[in-house]
Amino acid sequence: MRMTTLAASLLLALAMALPVAAADKKPTTLEERVSYGIGMNIGRDFKGKGFEVNPDLLARGIKDVLAGGELLMTEDEVRQTIMELQQVLQEKAAAKNRAEGEAFLAANRKKDGVKVTASGLQYRVIREGDGATPGPDSTVTVNYRGALVDGTEFDSSYKRGKPATFQLNRVIRGWTEGLQLMKAGGKYEFVLPADLAYGEQGAGQVIGPNSVLIFEVELLEVN
């Protein structure tokens, strides 16, 4: 789980928080709407990550900073707390993704046409090619799209309008193995267990820890 969005929300709140409207009164002025809207975003962010916060202390922290009064925590304590929170959220996301990934892999392997290699890589031939087969050090040109098990698309050369070219020994393990099963002109679907993808670390803001990844790959050229 990445903390960029969370950190940005908190910093934005500290920098921009303004006096809020009276309880149960619909915000009308700009400062009331900004204040309430920032609060909504912070609450939604924490709720989405499965972590509860104390709204009174959250408001107190903002109030104390804006008022320039005595703070209840030092900067070092805040940094340490955020590091602890990062670890907790990372572990929660890893456990959730692991459970969802295992369930998806178990169901997918039962589908017609799906084959499973010794490493756990799952693949399905969409269209067989008749060209060259790449080796582990080959340079290949492909079109592809990648998605999470919930269908969220995180990358697509089709949307960029340009195929990708790379060496097979410089990509994630699932790609190195999977592309060597193909021939140029072919199109396969690969389902990569997390240990053949980005593992416990994840990648970027979308691919969380222990994420199973789905790729549709069209092998265009082998060099």
Mean pLDDT on 111-140: 98
* Residue 48 binned pLDDT confidence (cut-offs 50, 70, 90): confident
- Where in the chain are the domains? 4-72, 112-222
pLDDT at 15: 46
**Whole-prediction pTM:** 0.76
Q: In this structure, which topology does domain 112-222 adopt according to CATH? A: Chitinase A; domain 3 (3.10.50)
**Mean pLDDT over the full length of the chain:** 90
pLDDT digits (tens, 9 = 90+) for 56-82: 898 888 889 989 989 999 999 999 999
pLDDT digits (tens, 9 = 90+) for 160-197: 999 999 999 999 999 999 999 999 999 999 999 999 99
Closest CA to 6 of 81, 82, 88: 82
Report which of residues 107 and 59 the model is more confident about. Answer: 107
Q: Is the pLDDT of residue 30 over 80?
A: yes
